Amino acid sequence: MLKAEAFEVAKVREDFPILKRKVHGKRLVYLDNAATTQKPQLVVDALVDFYTRYNSNVHRSVHTLGEEATAAYEAARSKTAKFVGADPKGLVFVRGTTEATNLVRFAWGEKNVKKGDVLVATLMEHHSNIVPWQLLARSKGATLKYVGLNPDGTLDMGQLEDLLREAPRLVAVAHCSNVLGTINEVSAICAMAKKVGATTVVDGAQSVPHMPVDIGAVGADFYAFSGHKMLAPTGVGALAARKELLEEMDPFQSGGEMIKEVFEDHSTWNDVPYKFEAGTVNIADAIGLGTAVDYLSSIGMERVRKHEVALLDYALRALSEVKGVKIYGPPDPARRGGVVSFNYADVHPHDLATILDEEGVAIRSGHHCAQLLMRWLDVPATARASFHVYNSYDDVDALTAGLHKAGKLFRL
């Protein structure tokens, strides 16, 4: 088949020093990008530059370093907001998707969810978009209900409509599944939810890193994503929301930075988004996220997506030619993100990952923090290969070759 490239992958690979590493004497084939991506030298340099040239706290020092650090941190916010079509005043820097959903749970949920309310999530959610709602439901006496899936791994929209008839307070849904790759029709879902007065939380952990996303067009009340899955450092991510919604909410964590004035018996809150950024923030990594956004923009998210769809198409074909491989999720690469979950005969995914590792191929094996989905698939675990900009057709070939080796070892 034609191995077209949306951009020059070999050149992109040079930006990622880790790809020169050998694992067990083999070329590193990194296919665990849904867990976390590698970082381009530019991002590493941005961290070094911050710490060696203008390290300082933000928003509170009037000296030169403080002003430079504040400008860089706020520039990172603007860039990140622009990258996803969000209002910078509504973009809160957090630790990642998990902290974002927890922020919503406490700062929005405590005030807005009442006894007897219904909350809705889906069976394909990552635990970070389930457990906070479980705990919220428990503390408030609300009920958490789930939208099931169609056999092809898409959401059962009929079931969603049924649940919306119960006028839920909250609808929580992933933009893109980290296991099935399913891209959910989040703008339609948000519009439907809005009609019945439900607040929407969209988990963008697997969409923002891989495809063009316009949060304004999605129409979600809350949209969360993680920097480390989009070439940025660990420890930084964002929650994007309408400014007015954030203004109505109570604080999440409290202390320095998030206040306007403190009196003996009460305090007033800083403007958003600072109201939700208590204490000294993760300055360096946020600046790193801004740099990652610049890097991705220089390639162009349309092209990133095109590249991943091409690899996905190639991988789906290659894997389905291996006898005994069962692939999960929608068959059409245009309807899924750059992730392929599969099982191979009776080879447990952990054994498969060990065998592939020996070939330098890094995949993920396990439940992928999606145990409800594993139960729906009726498997204890899956193997998962996931792509990003630096992956090549050769990487997919290495995966397939590794599978053949595993087949031999397991005498399949």
Partner 1 sequence: MSSADIYREVILDYYRHPRNFGKLEKFDIDSHDSNPLCGDEIEMQVQVGSGQKMEEVKFTGKGCAISQASVSMLTELAKGKPLGWVKELSKEDVFKMLGNPDLGPSRVKCALLGMKVLKTGVYGYLGAQYEEKDEGELP
Ligand X SMILES: Cc1ncc(COP(=O)(O)O)c(C=O)c1O
Q: Does 77 bind ligand X (CB under 6 A)?
A: no
Of 59 and 127, the one with the shorter C-beta distance to ligand X is 127
By CB under 6 A, what part of segment 176-205 binds ligand X? 178, 203, 205
Mapped to the 3 state alphabet, what secondary structure does the chain carry? CCCCCCCCHHHHHCCCHHHHCEECCEECEECECCCCCCCCHHHHHHHHHHHHHHCCCCCCCCCHHHHHHHHHHHHHHHHHHHHCCCCHHHEEEECCHHHHHHHHHHHHHHHHCCCCCEEEEECCCCHHHCHHHHHHHHHHCCEEEEECECCCCCECHHHHHHHHCCCCCEEEEECECCCCCEECCHHHHHHHHHHCCCEEEEECCCCCCCCCCCHHHHCCCEEEEEHHHCCCCCCCEEEEECHHHHHHCCCCCCCCCCEEEECCCCEEECCCCHHHCCCCCCHHHHHHHHHHHHHHHHHCHHHHHHHHHHHHHHHHHHHHCCCCEEEECCCCHHHECCEEEEEECCECHHHHHHHHHHCCEECEEECCCCHHHHHHHCCCCEEEEECCCCCCHHHHHHHHHHHHHHHHHCCC
Contact 292, 232 (CB under 8 A): yes
Give catalytic status of residue 176 as yes or no: no
Closer residue to ligand X (CB): 96 or 153: 96
Least separation in angstroms between CB 341 and ligand X = 12
In the bound complex, what is the minimum distance in angstroms from residue 8's beta carbon to partner 1?
Answer: 35
Q: Which member of 381, 384, 388, 393 binds partner 1 (CB under 8 A)? A: 381
- Site for ligand X (CB under 6 A): how many residues? 14
Q: Which is nearer to ligand X, 117 or 203 (CB)?
A: 203
Residue 366, contacted partner among partner 1, ligand X, none, CB below 5-8 A by kind: partner 1
Among 34, 119, 272, 325, which residue sits at the site for ligand X (rule: CB under 6 A)?
34
Partner in contact with 411, chosen from ligand X, partner 1, none, beta carbon below 5 to 8 Å by kind:
partner 1
User: What's the min distance (Å) between Cβ of 134 and partner 1?
Assistant: 17
CB of 403 to partner 1, least distance (A): 13
- Give the residue with the Cβ less far from partner 1, 217 or 409: 409
- What is the rounded distance in angstroms from the CA atom of residue 288 to the CA atom of residue 316? 33
Supply the minimum distance, in Å, between the C-beta of residue 352 and partner 1: 9
Using rule CB under 8 A, residue 346 touches partner 1? yes
Stretches 131-139, 291-299, 310-318, 353-361: which one binds partner 1 (CB under 8 A)?
353-361
Pairing of strands 267-269, 259-262: antiparallel
CB nearer to ligand X: pick between 178 and 365? 178
Interface pick for ligand X out of 70, 97, 282, 382 (rule CB under 6 A): 97
- Size, binding site for partner 1 by CB under 8 A: 20
Q: Is 266 in the site for partner 1 (CB under 8 A)?
A: no
Residue 300 zone, left/alpha/beta (φ > 0; ψ -120 to 50; rest) = left
Using rule CB under 8 A, residue 375 touches partner 1: no
* Beta carbon nearer to partner 1, 107 or 370: 370
**Smaller CB distance to ligand X: residue 345 or 379?**
379
In angstroms, give the least distance from the CB of 324 to partner 1.
14
Residues 116-155 touching ligand X, rule: CB under 6 A, are 126, 128
Question: 18: closest CA among 409, 362, 374?
Answer: 362
Catalytic residues: 369
Interacting residue ranges for ligand X, rule: CB under 6 A: 34, 96-98, 126, 128, 174, 178, 203, 205-206, 226, 237, 369
Interacting residue ranges for partner 1, rule: CB under 8 A: 24, 346-351, 354-355, 357-358, 365-367, 374, 380-381, 409-411
